[in-house]
Homo-oligomer: A and B are copies of this chain.
Amino acid sequence: MPFEVTILGSRSALPVKNHFPAAQVLHVQERLFCIDCGEGAQMQLLRAGLSLLRIRAVFISHLHGDHIFGLFGLLATMSLLNRKNELPIFAPAPMENILRDHLHYFGDGMTFQPVVHTVPTDSPALIYEDNAMTVQTIPLQHRAPTAGFLFREKTPLRNVHKHVVAQYKLPIDAIIQLKNGADVILPDGEQLANETATYLPYTPRAYAYCSDTQFSEDVIELVRGVDLLYHETTFQSDRAALAKQTMHSTATDAATVAKRAGVKKLLIGHFSSRYPSSNGFLREARNIFPNTEIGRELTTYDV
């Protein structure tokens, strides 16, 4: 059951020759989600070997160009490819108005309906749920209303050990009871304990996406213990003042969040074009939180 994230773009606002702006694809079991959609995201999707038509929903953290200007091309291409399913777009206001105006000019003959779900950015909220997972917002502090996203698998139904089913010739209703976590009384009066008869098919995992934001204490509790935290690090500490002024994070800020939240692993990106290499970001973050990696474009990371 895959739970992994592919980085499509990792640069910040100013373009550089070889890096794309913010965009990721999250793969949760059989679902694909696009997280932020900077210019060129659809080209990067193709390069990553991912089908645009499998995108189930789009999550936009905030309405700055480097996080959203790839959305218009993505919508056009989905229509050229004859998408039929509605596409939910989760984003802060005024995304609904932006999309409405966009479709006024470019929506003729669209084969599907993109539908905006406006997300709150001032308090955490459950914005998506299906049978296997949830998505909650993580309020962030940036120059525009901004939300991070916490993708969390639900605890799956327990599986019943095959040898138990065979040994006790379990009827279907007993299996369902066991899958739901209950003990079962067998016809001969024996009690079958759930914990010996069943196992969790997988441990639920969680991925948190935080971009863009200045350091925020509130984020720490919301991402506590996640398996993988992506946190922007636009600057290194040499530009801490600029980070504060532009409401971005330094590598130290991101690593501090990761350490204090006890996450398993930290992925960093959204580097300012002022830095010719990403090595300094990695060094600075690992000084505080050793299990840090650079989020490299067209690379996939297990959650």
Contact = CB atoms under 8 A, between A and B. Distances in A.
A164 interface: no
Nearest to A14: B80
A76 to B, nearest CB: 4
Given A39-B40, A101-B101, A46 B17 contact: yes
Interface residues on A, range: 20 to 34
A15 B105 contact: no
A43 B46 contact: no
Interface stretch (A65-73, A148-156, A263-271): A65-73
Interface in A29-67: 39-40, 42-43, 46-47, 63, 65-66
Interface string A133-152: 00000000000000000000
Contact of A14 (B65, B72, B77, B94): B77
Contact of A98 (B39, B94, B105): B105
A67 to B, nearest CB: 11
A280 to B, nearest CB: 22
B15 A42 contact: yes
Copies of this chain in the oligomer = 2
A275 interface: no
Contacts of A20: 43
Contacts of A47: 17
Given A13-B80, A15-B73, A72-B69, A105 B63 contact: yes
A33 to B, nearest CB: 19
Contacts of A80: 13-14
A16 B77 CA distance: 11
Interface in A197-238: none
A106 interface: yes
A7 B73 CA distance: 20
A65 B69 contact: no
A191 interface: no
Contacts of A77: 13-15
18 contacts: A13-B77, A14-B80, A14-B81, A15-B42, A15-B43, A16-B46, A17-B46, A17-B47, A20-B43, A39-B42, A39-B43, A39-B70, A63-B105, A65-B72, A66-B76, A94-B105, A97-B105, A101-B101
Given A17-B43, A20-B43, A39-B40, 4 more contacts: A39-B43, A65-B76, A66-B73, A94-B105
In the A-B complex, the 5 residue pairs with the smallest Cβ-Cβ separation, listed nearest first, are: A65-B76, A101-B101, A39-B73, A69-B73, A17-B46
